[in-house]
Amino acid sequence: MKDLVERFPSRFCLFICNPQADSLIEDVPNVFKLKGVQNLTEINIALRSAFRDLPPSQSKPRRAHIEIISDILLQHGATRARRWLTGLLPELKSNGFTVTATVNPQMHHPADVQAILDLFEGEITIYEKSQKRRAKRYLKIKRMYNHRYVEDELLLVKNALEL
């Protein structure tokens, strides 16, 4: 992330929700440091502040990735996390963003994970299977609203020469 912050200061914003944020990265205008995920209102205020500074949406696509979903589920529970995302996702979309998120389903009750996943327009899972005494990673697109996609699982490899 540090590399992206430095290479694209006018087009890349990073929001760090960590008590040690000051030691992780220096102070630069496109980095927003928050104490953690305890205060969702503080996160919303930082996001709105960044939206105000964005240039009008151009032909280039905008992307937002939320990596703190599991932390928010643990801290606030599914009901509050869903309520927060229900307010945040439309705001991001109205600002021209395609939104992705990461959640570790093994950390939470399946109903809590489903309460969050239902808010998104698609679901992609990466998982491991043991084959021939070696674990291999696969990608499976479970759903993708209004898009065609491959329904079969896809093998993920670090280097195409390994095939």
Could you tell me the residue range of the domain that residue 18 belongs to?
A: 2-120
Is 126 found in the same domain as 82?
A: no
State whether 93 and 24 are in the same domain. Answer: yes
Question: What's the whole-number average pLDDT of the chain?
Answer: 89
pLDDT, position 138? 94
Q: State how far the Cα of 22 lies from the Cα of 46, in Å rounded to an integer.
A: 16
**Which DSSP state fits 105?**
G
Place of tokens 């995302």: 85
Do both 113 and 137 map to the same domain?
A: no
Q: What is the pLDDT of residues 112-142, one digit of tens each?
A: 999 999 999 999 999 999 888 889 999 999 9
What does the pLDDT look like over 30-76, one tens digit per residue? 899 999 999 999 999 999 888 887 777 666 788 999 999 999 999 99
Same domain? For 105 and 138 the reply is no
Query: Are residues 149 and 85 both part of a single domain?
Result: no
Considering the domain architecture, whether residues 78 and 136 belong to the same structural domain is answered as no
Q: Which residue has the tokens 């914003």?
A: 13
Q: Which residues contact 49 (CB under 8 A, 6 or more apart)?
A: 32
Which residues contact residue 45 at a Cβ distance below 8 angstroms, ignoring those fewer than 6 apart?
Answer: none
Do 65 and 138 belong to one domain? no
Determine the Cα–Cα distance for residues 163 and 149; give it in Å rounded to an integer: 23
Query: Same domain for 22 and 86?
Result: yes
Statement: residue 98 has pLDDT above 80:
yes
pLDDT at site 116 = 96
Distances from the Cα of 67 to the Cαs of 3, 15, 44, 56, in angstroms? 18, 10, 15, 25
Based on the domain organization, do 98 and 134 belong to the same domain? no
Tokens of 17: 């929700």
Residue 22 — pLDDT band, cuts 50, 70, 90? confident
Q: Are residues 84 and 113 in the same domain?
A: yes
- Count of domains forming the chain: 2
Interior angle at CA 68, CA 62 and CA 74, nearest 5? 150
pLDDT of residue 58: 66
Q: Are residues 6 and 72 in the same domain?
A: yes
The answer on 41 and 18 residing in a single domain is yes
